[in-house]
Amino acid sequence: MKVMQKTLISWIAFRDDFSEGAVNEGGPNPSIHLHHYDYDRHILLHLNNEESDDRKGLFRTWLSKKGFENRVKFLPVRLAQKDLINLERIQNKLTTILMDYREDSLSFFVTPGTKAMHTAWHIEHLNPGWNSQLIQIRPGRHVANGVPELIQIDFQPQMGALAAIASETELQTPKLKDRIIIAKALSQAYDIADRVALTDKVTTLIWGKSGTGKEEVAKHIWKNSSRKEQKYMAINCSALPDNLLATELFGHTQGGFTDAKMARKGLFRAADGGTVFLDEIGDISPKMQQSLLRVVQERKVQPVGSDETIDVDVRIIAATNKNLLEECSEGRFRWDLYYRLAVVEIQLPQLVEWGIEDLQELIDHLIEQKKELKNGEKLRFTPKARKALHQYHFPGNVRELENLIARLYVLTDGEVSLEHLPKLILNAKKDSPLKLKYVVKNAEKHHIRKIYQQNKFNKERTARVLDISPNTLEKRIKEFNIKKMV
């Protein structure tokens, strides 16, 4: 059984950790190491600039003299000086960094840093994806025995508005105005998408059958992220053979292959700074999987016909209608690429899994959306026609329903009766066993996922609350492909 590591994470304190060109042993980070260090490792964050490199050198030398050199990992963070009071930018960077330590017992050391940095730690602590605590240190000069005191902060949401903590900045949350429809059936997926939007480079895999709205979720992430002012570029990976897909993704040099008369940037370089959406990722060949793995791992592309690699800064969102876990088990998809892509996984339900109220909400929305096809006059359904729609399982999902509404606008005079509906819908059986199976399984899946999240993804506690054995819970988690959220 893997032992959970105890990880301390903090910013380097530019002012308090140093004094007159040397390390100040009364500063917050040195005080932790001298008096209260009880961790497996310390991740020390610092800006990626020359001044930070100088301070890092001083601190590393001090650690070595004290015999602490193996405790600390210095981690540069790409933030400009002006970003030190920008909560959104700091939040994006922190969430991305913390994904690498999500299996650890985390201690967020809030003392060093700006007020925006302090607030970011408080927000991260509220994230159910982390097993975390907040700590701060009281300087020795304020303690009777002169020894700095370590304090665990008992922070709860009701302590007050986070905006009051961060007087220098403003907490921003994703806007929902671009969402097609906010139904209960989609709330879980879009809640995760909202969290992903607040991160910077976390790769995301969207899974759903054809027509469930995978690209709408990808665009939602892009439009609500810090990259919203940069390009969004999408490609259907199943539509092109390997040689064309490689040049589309990675670009090529002039003369890189026959008929390559001009150089081409490729999608990753063209979208630099923005977001790339790779649709139908489960259909790419083993050779293309290997090429893509390098891009996902290193954020570098090698144009066709070139020996050089070029850095790219993009958020990667992939989507598939295949079960990639099965594809990996059968040897058709690389495990290492799957784990790189599915840092966060978003599952979209089929329309047959939606409740009748949610389905009707979507129907009403599409009627409103497409009313211009009839000069603003809305479609009207007879009770029998509406009931027939509710009983149909829509194998083509949202796309099939959307096309049906458009067709009915064209082929009817405004009122839809049974005779206007396709035979597939008219022949659908009432109380379909297939639909019942989906409803029951979907209810079980969502209930387990909710309890699992409430218990911070602790399987033992979750099994106890659900009154099932840990083995049964493990089987259900695998069966429903339930993942930890960001």
The first and second tokens of residue 388, run together, are 């027939």
For residue 316, what is the enclosing H or E element? Answer: strand 315-320
Which amino acid appears at position 399 of this protein?
R
How far is residue 42's CA from residue 106's CA, in Å, rounded to a whole number?
Answer: 10
How far is residue 232's CA from residue 412's CA, in Å, rounded to a whole number?
Answer: 38
The first and second tokens of residue 220, run together, are 């939602």
Q: Check residues 358 and 222 and name the one with the higher pLDDT.
A: 222
Highest mean pLDDT among 9-18, 161-170, 272-281, 469-478: 272-281
Q: Residue 171 has what pLDDT?
A: 34
Distances (CA, A) of 377 to 67, 158, 227, 365: 78, 48, 38, 14
Ramachandran assignment for 332, one of left (phi > 0), alpha (psi -120 to 50 degrees), beta (any other): alpha
How far is residue 204's CA from residue 202's CA, in Å, rounded to a whole number?
Answer: 6
The first and second tokens of residue 51, run together, are 């001044």
Domains for the chain: give ranges and CATH numbers: 6-165 (3.40.50.10770), 184-347 (3.40.50.300), 351-426 (1.10.8.60), 433-479 (1.10.10)
Question: Is the CB of residue 185 less than 8 Å from the CB of residue 191?
Answer: no
Averaged pLDDT for residues 40-51: 89
Question: Is the CB of residue 218 less than 8 Å from the CB of residue 261?
Answer: no
For residue 289, which of 323, 318, 321 has the smallest C-alpha distance? 318
The first and second tokens of residue 432, run together, are 């379909």
Non-local CB neighbours of 377 within 8 Å, separated by 6+ positions: 371, 414
Q: Residue 437 has what pLDDT?
A: 62
3-state secondary structure 114-163: CHHHHHHHHHHHCCCCCEEEEEEEECHHHCCCCCCEEEEECCCHHHCCHH
Count H helices, E strands: the chain?
A: 19, 17
Question: Is the CB of residue 390 less than 8 Å from the CB of residue 357?
Answer: no
Q: Residue 446 has what pLDDT?
A: 77
pLDDT in tens, 406-441: 999 988 888 999 999 988 888 775 445 455 566 677
Q: Residue 435 has what pLDDT?
A: 55
Averaged pLDDT for residues 286-290: 92
Length of the chain as a residue count: 486
Is the pLDDT at 160 greater than 50, yes or no?
Answer: no
Q: Check residues 61 and 85 and name the one with the higher pLDDT.
A: 61
Q: Are strands 300-301 and 310-311 parallel, antiparallel or unpaired?
A: antiparallel
The first and second tokens of residue 92, run together, are 């994006």
pTM tops 0.75:
no
Is the pLDDT at 128 greater than 80, yes or no?
Answer: no
φ/ψ (deg, to 5) at 231:
-70, 145
Q: Residue 177 has what pLDDT?
A: 38
Residue carrying structure tokens 């649709």: 279
Output the CA torsion sign for 366, 371, 377, 382: negative
Q: Residue 484 has what pLDDT?
A: 65
How far is residue 33's CA from residue 138's CA, in Å, rounded to a whole number?
Answer: 14
The first and second tokens of residue 194, run together, are 């909202």
